[in-house]
Amino acid sequence: MFNFKIHKSLIRTKAVLGFAFLAIFAAACGASSAEQQTNRRVEKKPPVNIVSDKPKIVAFGDSLTAGFGLAEKESYPYLLQEKLRADGYDYEVVNAGVSGETSLGGLERVDWVLEQENVWILILQLGANDLLRGLPVAKMKQNLATIIKKAQAKNIEVLLCGMLAPPTMGAQYQREYVTAFPDLASEFKVEFLPFLLENIALNKDLNQPDGIHPNAEGEKIMTDNVYKSLKPMLKK
C-alpha cells in the first residue's frame, strides 16, 4: 500500500530537479503542439480487448505511456511486459496511452478501459498535459480522484505516477500541482511513484530532441522506475 514516506522523497526530488524544470517546461511547450497534432490523428478508442485468462496491467496515460516518437517495442509498457516475463510474472500489459491526453480526456475514456476482462492493476499516468495547458489543479485532482474511485470500485489496484511543475507557473500553482499527486495517493491509499521521469529529465542522452519525451534508452529507465513501484503489487 501507499508509502507515507513519499513526501520526504518528493521534497528531495524537488530539491534536485526543481531548478531544472525551467528548461524542461520550455521544451515541453514546444513539444506540446506535436503532441496535439498526434492527438488529433488518434481516435480515442479503448485498447484491444484480448480475451485472455491472464491478469491485466493497464498502462493508462498520455504520450509518456503511449511511447511518443518511438517504435512499439521501445515503449515502456512493452518493456514492462518483457521485464515481467523475465522475472516470472504472468501478467498481460496493455498500452492504453494516448498522446496529448489530459486528466479529463482520461476520465472520459477510462470506463472503456476498465471494462476489459481480468484487469488487476491500473498504472495511472496523467496530468502532464493539464500542466502544459495551465488547467486548474483542483479540476485535475478531481478527475484523477474519479478515475481512481472507478478503478477501486472494480477492485482494481492503482499505481499513481506523479509529475513536477516548474516555478514559472507561479509558486501557488507549483505547490498545488506537486502536492496533488501524493495527496491523492494518501487519500485513496494507492501505490505511488513520485516522479516518473526521475534520472531521465534534462539528460539529453536519454531524451528525444524535444527535450521531454524519453528516447529508447530513457524508456528503459522509465520502465525501471515504474517497475520498482509496481513490484510490491505483483503476485506470482
Taking the C-alpha atoms of residue 169 and residue 208, their distance in angstroms, rounded to an integer, is: 24
Catalytic residue among 63, 75, 99, 229: 63
Query: End-to-end distance of the chain based on CA atoms, in angstroms?
Result: 18
Q: Report which secondary-structure segment, H or E, holds 228.
A: helix 216-230
Q: Is residue 7 among the annotated active site residues?
A: no
CA distance 76 to 66: 8
Supply 173's cell numbers.
500553482
CA quadruple 8, 13, 16, 17: dihedral sign: negative
Q: Say how far apart CA 221 and CA 225 lie, in whole Å.
A: 6
9 is an active site residue: no
Choosing from 7, 186, 210, 224, the catalytic residue is: 210
Is residue 63 among the annotated active site residues? yes
Q: Which of 62, 75, 99, 213 is labelled catalytic?
A: 213
- Which of the residues are catalytic? 63, 210, 213
